[in-house]
Amino acid sequence: MTLNAVPQSMHFDAPLALQSGASMAGYDLAYETYGRLNADRSNAVLVCHALNASHHVAGVYEGQPGSEGWWDTMIGPGKPLDTERFFVIGVNNLGSCFGSTGPMHANPATGRPWGADFPVVTVEDWVDAQARLLDALGIASLAAVMGGSLGGMQALSWTLQYPRRVRHAAVIASAPNLTAENIAFNEVARRAIVTDPDFHGGHFYRHGVVPKRGLRIARMIGHITYLSDDVMNEKFGRQLRDGIDLRYTTQDIEFQIESYLRYQGDKFSEYFDANTYLLITRALDYFDPARAHGGSLAKALATATADFLLVSFTTDWRFPPARSREIAKALLDNRRRVSYAEIDAPHGHDAFLLEDARYLAVVRAYFDRIAAEFSA
């Protein structure tokens, strides 16, 4: 059964207070919903997106072949998160470039694109904005909140910011904060963008250009961290792009892996916004709920009351299993109910987006249990 997706948008006039001390007024949030809200509104599930994804989590747009949502393997009729039982909401985060108010939109104070003047946003700010949308939809509590990678950080933050509104949380391929190595990757990617001559201090819109060179390099760097060494070796190895002879060049593409990375960079630079990339990677850097508790994650998670599912993947070196186990230990230290699955999968960090029978079975079993609670 094909799930038809319909983009929606909601405007908010009331200012949203941000963690930085700034505020955001007169903003829009793009979102999509799937399935039906039951009579007592107890079957709502919020799905939070990662860096370059959006509110389009599942289904297809009518008349647009190939427009499947980014988590279509996970969400839909008869799928692990079954839209015949759950009402699923996907929200595009503030500062993104897929419909919600972001740097490319007009700053009401100037009438020109926000550009680099768009306020810095955090995971906590996104959660507050999502909560406002749920309020407007008449949803007081969530059966579950779910996300992978950066989306998993948002799911974790939901359990801390709004503990009484979340009954379950599925945190997949995520971490309680970034390591120094991950912050370093983000910084190199950001420097690639801001040093592109077409960046113009973040106000490239008014110059009619896009810092594509920087975006390409940023995506190439990021993409390396999403794949495992095994997958890259299996898919590309040391294969040359053209035949079997070396061309002895330092400027042109020689190896298949180089061609693949350049293709990914080119594609990304055609649709993603440079200022959005800076904002979202910085939000990743800033997320650290333990920071306000002397570095103790157990103390930070003491206010969480939700039931948790944590999933990690053996070859994910960006957010390795040890990071999920940190969250599990902190929750168990607080006597919270935690299910943990470590999936042996070869695909690296991207495994959370891919079809894997064991992974999907774990998530299906978790949502079966949640459905039994509100169906009883």
Q: Strand 81-82 vs strand 75-76: parallel, antiparallel, or unpaired?
A: parallel
The first and second tokens of residue 114, run together, are 């926000």
Task: Say if residue 238 carries a ligand binding annotation.
Answer: no
The predicted-structure confidence for 316-351, as pLDDT tens digits, reads as follows 999 999 999 999 999 999 999 999 999 999 999 999
Residue 182 token pair:
């991950």
Q: Which of 149, 157, 174, 312 is the catalytic position?
A: 149
Instruction: Show me where the domains of the chain are located.
Output: 4-177+289-373, 182-281
In angstroms, the CA 21 to CA 19 distance is: 5
CB atoms within 10 A of CB 62: 10
3-class DSSP assignment, residue 70: coil
316 is catalytic: yes
Q: Which helix (H) or strand (E) holds 32?
A: strand 27-34
CA distance 264 to 243: 22
Residue in the structure block whose two tokens are 């230290």: 333
Determine the pLDDT at residue 244: 75
Element (H, E) at 16: strand 16-17
Q: How many Å separate Cα 129 from the centre of its chain? A: 15
Separation of alpha carbons 21 and 137, rounded Å = 27
3-state secondary structure of 195: coil
The pLDDT assigned to 241 comes to: 85
State yes or no: 117 annotated in a binding site. no
Residue 214 exposed, middle or buried by CB count within 10 Å (0-12, 13-18, 19+): buried
Domain 182-281: CATH class, spelled out: mainly alpha
When the pLDDT of each residue in the chain is averaged and rounded to a whole number, the result is 96
Active-site position among 72, 128, 307, 316: 316
Note the pLDDT of residue 376.
Answer: 55
Q: Supply the CATH classification number for the domain 4-177+289-373.
A: 3.40.50.1820
Strand pairing category for 144-148 and 168-172? parallel
Active site residue 349: yes
Q: What is the pLDDT of residue 360?
A: 98
| Contacts of residue 317, Cβ cutoff 8 Å, sequence gap at least 6 | 225, 228, 348, 349
What's the pLDDT at 29?
Answer: 99
Which residue positions in the chain have pLDDT lower than 50?
none
Residues 188-212: tens digit of each pLDDT: 999 999 999 999 999 999 999 999 9
